[in-house]
Amino acid sequence: MKSTEQLAVTKNISGNGNGFDPEVIRRDFPIFKRKINGRRLIYLDSAATTQKPNAVIDVIDRYYKFQNANVHRGLHTLAEEATTAFEATRDKVAKFIGGVKREEIIYTRNATEAINLVAQSWGQANIKKGDRIVITQMEHHANLVPWIVLSRKTGAELVYIPITPDGFLDLKDIGKIISANTKMVALTQMSNVLGTINPVEDIIDLAHKRGAVTLVDGAQSVPHLPIDVRAMDADFLAFSAHKMLGPTGLGFLYGKEEILNNMEPVVFGGEMISEVKFDYADWNALPYKFEAGTPHIAGAIAFGSALDYLNALGMENIRNHEKGLIAYALEKMKELDFIKIYGPLDSERRGGGVSFNDKDIHPHDLATFLDMMGIAVRAGHHCAQPLTRLFGVNATTRASFYIYNTINDIDALITGLKEARRYFKYE
């Protein structure tokens, strides 16, 4: 892989001794050649979507120029090449999350669609009135709204694991919350707002003892943490390619084979069938029975290169790099008496991002000002309205980090926050 050869193995570049140089990594990302309002781009919105390296962009370009064909449906050279590359990425995904079976990896459009697939297929077939669905108060709408809709349709009870004021799950009553009539426990492994890393293994273990099925929303965790879904023992895991250097419009659902085999598809058409008559249809084997229609072929093939890139860096190195960044960011932000931080203040128990508010400046105004300085942050409820309201606000500003961010980026953010106070005449 061309970009892998460009990666420098150095020591203590970002202050945490993790063994890779984010300044060198940035050279693989063409977007960082851009100037925003005449300033260098400081991208602090990777929790929303990550930037893409040349190793990914070049594969998409090459596919459409020299390899474009549909998959699974042709015997000509282009079709066979496209199919081979498309299926190779499925194998890489299976290995990346712990070495599961390739049949257990379902291509979807995103993590949202993956979760909806479980709710609509497994949920509607197995959950009824009087049953309980357990989720947490820190869920993204993608792992909240499908269960609200399912509970309305079935009459099931939707119960929430509460959170503490400092942003952790409050587990003191977890044995009562996950009751004997609980059928599904669905939770995020890492909050997209608070950054909290949840003890999913312990919760999954309890859920299984109660006879419940479990789903983990890994949209934020899979790009940032070493993941072994078999050790985690989750029944389902959902995540998206675009949050881990890959293209948009591509996601994945991992599901245990025995559960997937007993589920019905929810989208019907080409490719997901084994036989169709005028009055009859039967479904294809795993994983194809859940993959109706032409998939995002170029995106899937390119995502294979994204996984190669992440593997070359090493997920442990990525985690250590982000721990150093978030520890530094929290330290610097705590020195600003006009900033309120939401979520844990312990870098060991949170991911590489921080949501915060200026006591006087609205998050949207603050994000707009920072953009004037070339700094891209997120402002809003981050698709977690119930969570932000728990903290008494309608919106926060969020800065989130990834492999290409440096201590200098955080220093620029801190300078920007101070400059905003002067600009809005609060200093």
The pair of structure tokens assigned to 226 is 């070493």
Tell me, rounded to whole angstroms, the distance of Cα 395 from its chain centroid: 20
One-letter amino acid identity for 132? R
> Is 13 annotated in the active site?
no
Task: State how far the Cα of 68 lies from the Cα of 62, in Å rounded to an integer.
Answer: 9
Catalytic residue among 36, 315, 376, 383: 383
The pair of structure tokens assigned to 286 is 């795993």
Backbone φ, ψ for residue 183 (5° rounding): -105, -30
Contacts of residues 270-277 at CB distance under 8 Å and 24 or more positions apart, as own/partner, are 270/294, 271/72, 271/73
* Contact status, residue 282 vs residue 275, Cβ threshold 8 Å: yes
Q: Which residue has the tokens 């426990």?
A: 185
Catalytic residue positions?
383
